[in-house]
Amino acid sequence: MKIPVHIAEKLALLSEGKRLASSSVKHPIIEELISEKIIDRTGRIQKQLSIPSKTAFFSYLQNRYSINDLGQYISILQQQETLRGEAVKVSGNSKLKKVRTFKGFLVNCYLPIQVTINEKTTTLFPTAGKFDFIYDFEKFTIPQDIVVVGIENPENFRHIEKQKYLFENIKPLFVSRYPQNQSKDFMKWLQSIPNRYLHFGDFDFAGIAIYLYEYKKKLKNRATFFVPENIESLIEMYGERKLYNKQKNNFNLQSHGEMDLIRLTDAMHKHKKCLEQEIMLAIK
């Protein structure tokens, strides 16, 4: 999908620090950016849009849409006749089509893990502030006793060392679901290896839907949804009723017999609250 010029112009205003009424900027691309937390939508009655991080915003445009310069991108779209070379320079594609800058996905760990990539053995070492990007994922293998943990939110992926207490019974390798357009590569890799998969996402209807329809459906019994033992007390103490009311009618979920998922949904309905996974960074 190409970003149309009228949406690109709105994005440029947001990148300058301006806030715009949500009703004035309606487009699937805007919804995508909101779901990826690149754009914030706040307010009860008159909702407004803003960009919390310019660095993340411009990085997303580059990786997702191959837009290296938003101003030049807008200028080219506004011109009636565009030189082919200029289009290639700005967008990486003379027809301004979406191009994936990278295939692959980000991984993280808090314990050294010996892996094989391109038939060479190497070790992933935990280093604060650094992640590893696996480009040749087709030739990337890990020991079978390693459990792949997919993390939905970037903040939890960044600070996995603060959540070690949650995974004491397994040897985990953490993979980021962000940016979302890399998730197909992640799934291809998961389907090519025998390892167990543990989905660590938000404890709400949307998080469960992502797990069921993107992972459980394809990985079957190899996939499980991570639910803390004390999930009911966490939901009772820290859960959000507005989140529950917003999502409860939007998803028709089947638990596929997973007892932990049944326990989670029962707790959500009992307290009429949902819980975002970032709470796990603040408690122990």
One DSSP character per residue, the chain reads -PPPHHHHHHHHHHHTT--EEGGG---HHHHHHHHTTSSEEE-SSS-EEE-S-HHHHHHHHHHHH--S-HHHHHHHHH-SS--HHHHHHHHSSTT-----S--SEEEE-SS-EEEEETTEEEEE--BTTB-EEES-GGGEE--TTEEEEEESSHHHHHTGGGGGGGGTTSEEEEEE--SGGGHHHHHHHHHHS---EEEE--BSHHHHHHIIIIIIHHHGGGEEE---TTHHHHHHHH-BHHHHHHHTTT-----TT-HHHHHHHHHHHHHT-BB-GGGGGT--
Assign residue 192 a region (left: φ > 0; alpha: ψ between -120 and 50; beta: otherwise): alpha
Residues in the chain: 284
What is residue 18's DSSP assignment?
A: -
- Cis geometry, peptide bond prior to residue 143 (ω within 30 degrees of 0): no
What six digits make up the tokens of 217?
A: 């459906």
Q: How many whole angstroms separate alpha carbon 26 and alpha carbon 30?
A: 7
**pLDDT exceeds cutoff 60 at 96:** no
- The pLDDT assigned to 1 comes to 65
- Positive or negative: CA dihedral 18, 19, 25, 26: positive
Query: 146 falls in which pLDDT band (50, 70, 90)?
Result: very high
CB 256 within 8 A of CB 223: no
Domains of the chain: 5-91 (no CATH), 105-281 (3.40.1360)
Q: How many whole angstroms separate alpha carbon 222 and alpha carbon 191?
A: 10
* Of the listed ranges 14-28, 157-171, 188-202, 254-268, the one predicted with least confidence: 254-268
* Of the listed ranges 17-26, 43-52, 78-87, 243-252, the one predicted with least confidence: 78-87
**pLDDT exceeds cutoff 50 at 82:** no
Higher per-residue pLDDT: 183 or 84: 183
Closest CA to 34 of 206, 186, 203: 206
Query: 252 falls in which pLDDT band (50, 70, 90)?
Result: low
Mean pLDDT confidence for 196-200 = 97
Residue 241 DSSP SS3: helix
Query: 39 falls in which pLDDT band (50, 70, 90)?
Result: very high
What six digits make up the tokens of 131?
A: 């992640």
Query: 89 falls in which pLDDT band (50, 70, 90)?
Result: low
- The pLDDT assigned to 91 comes to 56
Mean pLDDT confidence for 244-262 = 79
Beta-strand relationship, 120-124 and 146-151: unpaired
pLDDT tens track for 231-248: 999 999 999 999 999 888
* Neighbouring C-beta atoms of residue 46, cutoff 10 Å: 8
Q: How many whole angstroms separate alpha carbon 44 and alpha carbon 41?
A: 10
Give pTM, 2 decimals. Answer: 0.65
Query: 94 falls in which pLDDT band (50, 70, 90)?
Result: very low
Mean pLDDT confidence for 195-220 = 92
**pLDDT exceeds cutoff 70 at 76:** yes
pLDDT tens track for 108-124: 999 999 999 999 999 99
Query: 130 falls in which pLDDT band (50, 70, 90)?
Result: confident
- The pLDDT assigned to 66 comes to 81
**pLDDT exceeds cutoff 90 at 195:** yes
Beta-strand relationship, 105-108 and 113-117: unpaired
Higher per-residue pLDDT: 88 or 142: 142
